[in-house]
């Protein structure tokens, strides 16, 4: 990603997942723009994050605005809205995303059976987003398996890896760097088509959480060189 940290817009950054990611990237020194359908709600969310930053001067600035302005003013956009609103949130900001990377965290959960895998007709939520946005936008899937409560507790070490799927290696590398900045390990997990596995895994983890009374289960990639050398 070079020495300069890109400006990150979090579309839907007022919500659980988006605000957790925004906090962690701000703490890592990134400039973050919170996007919302309502600019004042985004400003409020940004203020709350900025207040957390007063103790540490290395935090990046956080501001809030409407989703379109956030997408326009960003270098990298992150989409964090419910599956039911994924495509209708992207449609009005599609032009502003041209030439950029969109990191989509959408898990295709269809209430009430959110613990049952229900992938959309396109094969996955991110494939549907890529189809709609066209090749001018580079869609990458990441963070589908990270529970928001872990992201939002900044003192908490996140015991879950991030599967990063995308058709361009350079774009996956950026998402992997952002996973690292937020305190997680990201893995090249293949082309965008492979995101179906990460999206399906979200429902599997929800089922495990319920069945075993775990607040936020996660996944780990094992067998890595550092482990096998030990």
Ligand X SMILES: NC(=O)c1ccc[n+]([C@@H]2O[C@H](COP(=O)([O-])OP(=O)(O)OC[C@H]3O[C@@H](n4cnc5c(N)ncnc54)[C@H](OP(=O)(O)O)[C@@H]3O)[C@@H](O)[C@H]2O)c1
Q: Which residues in this chain contact ligand X in the complex, by CB under 6 A?
A: 12, 14-18, 36-38, 41, 80-83, 85, 89, 105-107, 109, 144, 146-148, 202
In this structure, the number of other CB atoms found within 10 A of the CB of residue 58 comes to 9
Q: How far is the CB of 37 from ligand X (least distance, A)?
A: 4
CA nearest 106: which of 222, 169, 39, 199?
199
Q: How far is the CB of 153 from ligand X (least distance, A)?
A: 12
Task: Locate 54 and state its tokens.
Answer: 């007063």
Q: Closer to ligand X at the Cβ: 67 or 138?
A: 67
Burial per residue of 60-69, b for 16 or more beta-carbon CB atoms within 10 angstroms, e otherwise: bebbbbbbbb
Q: Closer to ligand X at the Cβ: 80 or 163?
A: 80
DSSP string, 64-128: EEEHHHHHHH-SEEEE-S-GGGHHHHHGGGTGGGTTSEEEE------TT-TTS----TTSSHHHH
Q: How far is the CB of 148 from ligand X (least distance, A)?
A: 3
Q: How far is the CB of 184 from ligand X (least distance, A)?
A: 12
When CB distances to ligand X are compared, the closest residue is 15
Which 8-state DSSP code applies to residue 91?
Answer: G
Q: Closer to ligand X at the Cβ: 82 or 190?
A: 82
Whole-angstrom distance, CA of residue 213 vs CA of residue 161? 20
Q: Closer to ligand X at the Cβ: 125 or 223?
A: 125
Task: Locate 15 and state its tokens.
Answer: 């919500």
Q: How far is the CB of 3 from ligand X (least distance, A)?
A: 30
Radius of gyration for the alpha carbons in the chain, expressed in angstroms and rounded: 17
Task: Name residue, tokens 């991030």.
Answer: 162
What backbone torsions phi and psi does residue 218 show, to the nearest 5 degrees? -145, -175
Q: Closer to ligand X at the Cβ: 79 or 176?
A: 79
Q: Closer to ligand X at the Cβ: 89 or 124?
A: 89
Q: Provide the terminal-to-terminal Cα distance of the chain, rounded to the nearest Å.
A: 31
Q: How far is the CB of 155 from ligand X (least distance, A)?
A: 18
């Amino acid at each position: 990603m070079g020495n300069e940290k890109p400006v990150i817009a979090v579309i839907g950054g007022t919500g659980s997942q988006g605000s957790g990611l925004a906090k962690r990237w701000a703490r890592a020194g990134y400039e973050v723009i919170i996007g919302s359908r309502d600019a004042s709600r985004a400003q409020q969310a940004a203020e709350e994050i900025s207040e957390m930053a007063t103790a540490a001067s290395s935090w990046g600035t956080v501001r809030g605005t409407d989703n379109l302005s956030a997408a326009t003013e960003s270098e990298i956009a992150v989409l964090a809205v419910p599956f039911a609103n994924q495509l209708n949130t992207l449609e009005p900001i599609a032009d502003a995303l041209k030439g950029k990377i969109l990191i989509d965290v959408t898990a295709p959960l269809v209430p009430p059976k959110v613990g049952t895998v229900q992938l959309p007709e396109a094969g996955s939520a991110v494939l549907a987003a890529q189809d709609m946005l066209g090749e001018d936008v580079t869609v990458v899937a990441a963070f589908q398996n990270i529970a928001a409560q872990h992201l939002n507790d900044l003192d908490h070490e996140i015991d879950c890896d991030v599967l990063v799927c995308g058709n361009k290696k350079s774009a996956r590398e950026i998402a992997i760097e952002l996973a690292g900045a937020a305190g997680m390990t990201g893995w090249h997990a293949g082309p965008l088509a492979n995101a179906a596995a990460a999206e399906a895994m979200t429902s599997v983890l929800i089922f495990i959480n319920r069945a075993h009374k775990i607040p936020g289960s996660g996944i780990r990639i094992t067998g890595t060189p550092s482990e096998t050398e030990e």
